[in-house]
Structure 1
Amino acid sequence: MKTISCMNINPELLYIYGGEDRSYNSKDYVYREGDPALYYYQIVKGRVKQNSYNEEGKEFIHNILGENQSFGEPMLFLEEHYIMNTVCLTSVELIRLSKNNFMELLEKNPKLCQEMNACFSQRIYFKEIMLQSMSSQNPILRLKGLLNYLKSYYAEDCEQCFHVEFTRQQIANLTGLRVETVIRALKKMEKQGELKIDNRKILY
């Protein structure tokens, strides 16, 4: 499976266009659901999660992102507010670039526009596959849809090298399955050689 990671723009180019260094502590919010979309963010060090909560207060994790990955850029092309939170899982260092400067950077660097279009297209493609998988009654197909979607955020194109940084309970919440069903399905997938479980870590 060929994958395309989130945007990773040369930091020096970001600084030329006014990029700013920002530091956060674990559990800090970079932005909250409902905030206006003002910046492009690129992670230098650390990890963040993107999440939202339903009316009952149940957390839904959309993704976990790390070093050299970006976030926030899709909403810069819309006059809309963020539809999810971005929360630091560790101490985080990132570069942020204002919306106007980001648009100027893209205008003057057409190749980056092409790379961003490819990234967005890949996101939509894998998300549609995941949504189709979620309609299946087969738990393994649901898990495959989710795992392929999560792996699509990473550039490595290899077998069973992607570490799924979600708990079994989080995977259950994402797929609408019971946690016991997730555990059984993962074990079955391991027996079939579709993934590895190493010290409880899922490698896909």
Structure 2
Amino acid sequence: MIPEALLITYNTTVKVFEKDELIFSEGDFAKNYYQVKSGIVKMNNFNDDAKEFIQGVFYKQQSFGEPPLFIDVKYPANATAIETSSVYILPKEKFYELLDNNKNVHFKITENLAKRLYYKAIIASEISSQEPSHRILRFFDYLKHDVYHQEEKFSLKINYTRQQISDILGLRVETVIRTIKQLENKGEVKIIKRKVYR
């Protein structure tokens, strides 16, 4: 997202979060810009039955938690390290200063937020009306084409567990496992050493 060299010039700090460590909590006010330096971070909520719903998963060079930073509201979800992760943390005032001085970065962040809104609208539609196989392929294709910009068949390794896919798409994990196997039999995905490729 924001080039690392540029973040460093604005005196950003780097903090290491251990696996399952909370970065911020649902209900906290947004005070910082966060960007993954290494590792994996998820944003999630839990419903009244303690079922997890994953809002998003973020990898190296991806930012997370920006919308509340722009509109002075509380976070609608938690952010947690899925594995040991290093995260750039830039205070809100410095973040605004960086955007004021780098309009191209401001545009890229706006574009990224628009893509996330589009994705959430697509996923909401898929969850409410489509079969599991359609939901899963739509999610994989969003990652492949819109996030990682890949076109070659089976070029994208899906870095999500079956449980994470089920939490994102509102499916039972057993349904995800069964459906992915069916998709492999149809030639839509490939499974190599338990990893899924699209």
Q: TM-score range by the shorter chain?
A: 0.7 to 0.9
Tell me the alpha carbon deviations over residues 15-40 of structure 1, each in whole angstroms, 9 at most, x when there is no partner.
Answer: 22231122222221111111110111
- The equivalent residue for 2:91 is 98
Q: 1:99-178, aligned counterparts within 5 Å?
A: 99-151=92-144, 154-158=147-151, 159-178=153-172
**Secondary structure in 2 aligned to 1:57?**
coil
Of the three residues 36, 44, 66, the one matched with 1:51 is 44
Question: What's the counterpart of residue 83 of structure 1?
Answer: 76
Q: What is the TM-score when the length of structure 1 is the normalising length?
A: 0.86
User: One-letter code of the match for 2:161?
Assistant: T
State TM-score, norm by structure 2: 0.88
Q: Is 2:53 the partner of 1:65?
A: no
The 1:66–1:153 alpha-carbon spacing in structure 2 relative to 1, beyond 3 Å, is: farther
2:190 to 178, 191, 196: 196
State the shift of 1:145 in Å: 3.0
Structure-2 residue corresponding to 1:179: 173
How many residues are matched? 197
For 2:167 and 2:83, the matched residues in 1 are separated by 23
**Other structure's SS at 2:147 match:** coil
- Alpha-carbon spacing, 1:81–1:153, altered in 2? closer, same or farther (3 Å): farther
Alignment-derived partner of residue 40 in structure 1: 33
Match of 2:10 in 1: 17
SS of residue matched to 1:80: coil
Shift in alpha-carbon separation, 1:66–1:170, aligned structure 2, 3 A:
closer
In structure 2, what is the Cα distance between the partners aligned to 1:60 and 1:46? 20
Residue 181 of structure 1 aligns to which amino acid in structure 2? T
Of 43-52 and 184-193, deviating more is: 184-193
- 1:64 and 1:165 in contact (8 A); partners too: no
Q: Percent identity?
A: 36
- SS of 2:75's equivalent in the other structure is coil
- Aligned partner letter, 1:82: Y
Tell me by how many angstroms 1:185 deviates.
1.9
Structure that is richer in helix per residue: 2
Matched residue type, 1:171? I
Give the conservation status (yes or no) of the 8 Å contact 2:36–2:63.
yes
> Structure 1 residue runs of 4+, over 6 Å off?
none
